[in-house]
Amino acid sequence: MAERFIEVSLDKRGVSCTAKLLDDRAPITCAAVWDALPLGGDVYHAKYARNEIYALIPPFAPQEPPLENPTITPIPGDLCYFTFTSTQLATPGYGYEAAAEQQGAQAAHVEHSTVVDLALFYERNNLLINGDAGWVPGIVWGQIVEGLDDMAEACQDLWRSGAVGETLNFRRA
């Protein structure tokens, strides 16, 4: 299979980077994401995992991917895929219960509504552990190959200045 690439962007900040899909390591997840592109939504900065930004979106795969190419220690440039039930995220401690409920409602055709978390890790020393749930392994499905430094700078600005009005988007390159 030919290599496939996507653009990941923070549109309000006017910054983007290019990622290579890891088809050889996470073929089911890569196929699901590729077939659903473009994807995106309001961006959030992680509270627990440290150097991570992500968007919560309705499920888009015909069937949720298995835990292929898993990690609990993502490195800079990793793109990760997580699935959560809307009730896992709909608590005041996370600060986006309305978004989780909204995305879960859009997935009402699923018996237990789920929310997909597409994440970008931009710096070192990340650990996917949650005080409520314990270890939270993610599927590494892509790796930033160009523009990570500019994206990391924008992510730091997002952390310090706030995420309101910003979106994280994934498109075919």
Please tell me the predicted confidence (pLDDT) of residue 131. Answer: 77
Q: Measure the CA–CA gap between 103 and 72, rounded to whole angstroms.
A: 25
Q: How confident is the model at residue 73 (pLDDT cuts 50, 70, 90)?
A: very high
Please tell me the predicted confidence (pLDDT) of residue 106. Answer: 46
Q: Quick one: which of 19, 24, 26, 49 has its CA closest to 172?
A: 19
Mean pLDDT of 10-35: 98
Q: Under a CB-based contact definition with an 8 Å cutoff, are residues 16 and 9 in contact?
A: yes
Backbone φ and ψ for 66, nearest 5 degrees, come out as -75, 170
pLDDT at residue 136 above 70?
A: yes
Q: How confident is the model at residue 107 (pLDDT cuts 50, 70, 90)?
A: very low
